[in-house]
Amino acid sequence: MPVSVTMPRLGESVTEGTVTRWLKQEGERVEADEPLLEVSTDKVDTEIPSPAAGVLTRIVVGEDETADVGSELAVISGDGEDAGSSEPAPAAQAQAEPEAEAEPEPPAPTTPSTEKPVEAEAPAPQTASASSGEGTDVKMPALGESVTEGTVTRWLKQVGETVEADEPLLEVSTDKVDTEIPSPVAGTLLEIKVPEDETADVGAVLAVIGSADAAPAAAPEPAPKPQAEAPKAEEPKAEEPKAEAPKPAPQAEAPKIESAPAPDIAPSAPSTPAQPAAPAAESVKANGAGDAGYLTPLVRKLAADKGVDLSTLTGTGVGGRIRKQDVLDAAEAAEAAKAKPAPAAAAAPAAAATAPKAAAAKPSPSPLRGRTEKLTRTRATIARRMVESLQVSAQLTTVVEVDVTKVAQLRNKAKADFQAKHGVKLTFNPFFALAAVEALQQHPVVNSSIDLEAGTVTYHDAEHLGVAVDTPKGLIVPVIRDAGDLNLAGLAKRIADVADRTRNNRIGPDEISGGTFTLTNTGSRGALFDTPIINQPQVGILGTGAVVKRAVVVEDPNLGELIVPRSMVYLALSYDHRIVDGADAARFLVTLKERLQGGQFEYELGL
């Protein structure tokens, strides 16, 4: 019995997901729990495993399309059912044989029609009527939360042209994202209902695609006259040498059938007859320039940021499409090549060594200069939530200066043994995190949430610590649950673990929600302090600045006031003034400051 693959619920409040990549294609076999596709939400990217073993007989939601939680993504049939799912293929072959006269294997029922051009025209009207009733609608997908409509900015295929399943069909723009909509099936574009620059509601039909066997029928729709049918019968004959060129028979049939209607409907497009000369995937891979028409905005932006020439890449996606990983691999290879200047430097004379120094003195400008581009989905979500946070809560920031010299000394003394024992580096973050959760236990008002509509405030009974992580996609905040139950080593390992998995898109969707307080290391890039924005519905966020050495006046019991070098850091607490008063914030920061300046972490470090 066929098994439906549905969109799972990928975390709290997640109602939809976008299919970013199919790891299996229609007709391929997949094992139970084997990764089947990749899905992206506004919180996390993850792989979806196959719920059963069998053959992927139908892909319902193409790449770059968005589907609601619980909706059908694909259909997997058992081994015995696979033959049934592939029945349309022989049917398409049976109809292709009368027109092309190139396949001698199953000629029994079709030989009489292949011998007479008049009979070859007879089944065409029947196919046309079938295609008009059995065509697949291409609908406007839901491209993000609260998106109700989209504008067609460009059709990548025209009426009469053939399209492969998952091949980009059109480009759509919304107020949140620009993206490409892939074809849900393979076949011929029979009708475009929404032209370029027009707007359509989510769920509206944008176009109609007929099956592969309906491709010849798309051409005679506007011309049922005998004169229009005559050249149609001649064109499949002209395609006979092209059908013999590709070695695999199934791949040869698709270009052979699809090439017929293109000259009938769009004779002015000389590129259409040239495409069937090779399978679509091979032609795209062979032509780097052709890939540029099938690039997502994300890939274009990434290539520009990394300085990668897209015309030099061979895509690994469907139909040779260039993907994000292809660009990242090329950029990594380029960086590796730059990191090996030894042979050139050894061969160059000493005088030539001055040229690189002069060039390095003036770094090249960023490729983003002078560009205007659409926001990514992640960046748009971050922007919306940051504005909402400022609108729904009364935020202000209190800053204290903390002397962490004792912490720095303990860290230098223990970091080598700590890494050898626990497998992670000992940074300042675990010290800040431990002191913060201890302070939250003493000042639960900072670890609360407020509901003005219900007139309630909830003081949480656990410290679920969010840790802001800088990623190429933007700032993402994974959550360390029950952080108050962890010691210094436990926090160090958990922080390193969630940060690594977040940067590598391996964080689970449930791990980036449910936080009660957030810690953000604004000093990781050298900033002394900033005023962080609260991550709703929390009421507090602590920003830790850079730890720097500078001259500080200290009080010595014997010598009085002295000016000595100390390791100093600014801690900035942004809080919701609707529930947290300035005195509450100050008391929380003083508790935090005393814990860090006391530096009593010897027990935690095993010293």
Q: What are the pLDDT digits (tens) for 290-301?
A: 434 446 656 777
pLDDT, the chain, mean: 76
Give the integer Cα–Cα distance in Å for 534 and 395.
8
Q: Do 186 and 163 contact (CB within 8 A), yes or no? A: yes
The pLDDT, as a whole number, for residue 551 is 95
Helix axes 88-100, 249-258, angle to 10 degrees: 60
Q: How confident is the model at residue 546 (pLDDT cuts 50, 70, 90)?
A: very high
> Which residues lie across from 264 on neighbouring strands?
none
Tokens representing 174 are: 């919304």
Would you please indicate which residues are annotated as catalytic (active-site) residues?
A: 577, 581
Q: Which long-range contacts (CB under 8 A, 24 or more apart) does 235-241 make?
A: 235/259, 235/260, 235/263, 235/264, 236/99, 236/100, 236/101, 236/260, 237/100, 237/101, 239/100, 239/276, 240/100, 240/101, 240/102
Q: Which range, of 146-150, 441-445, 579-583, averages the lowest pLDDT?
A: 146-150
What pLDDT band is residue 367 in, cutting at 50, 70 and 90? confident
Residue 178 has pLDDT above 70, yes or no: no
Domains and CATH numbers, the chain: 288-357 (4.10.320.10), 377-605 (3.30.559.10)
10 pLDDT tier (thresholds 50, 70, 90): confident
- State the pTM of this model: 0.49
Confidence of residue 505 (pLDDT cuts 50, 70, 90): confident
pLDDT tens-digit map of 302-351: 888 888 888 888 776 645 667 777 888 888 888 888 776 554 444 444 44
Which of 166, 224, 190, 192 lies closest to 37 in space, CA to CA? 166
| Number of other residues whose CB lies within 10 A of the CB of residue 142 | 21
For 275, what's the count of Cα atoms within 13 Å in the CB-facing half-sphere?
Answer: 23
Q: What is the pLDDT of residues 23-33, one digit of tens each?
A: 999 989 998 88
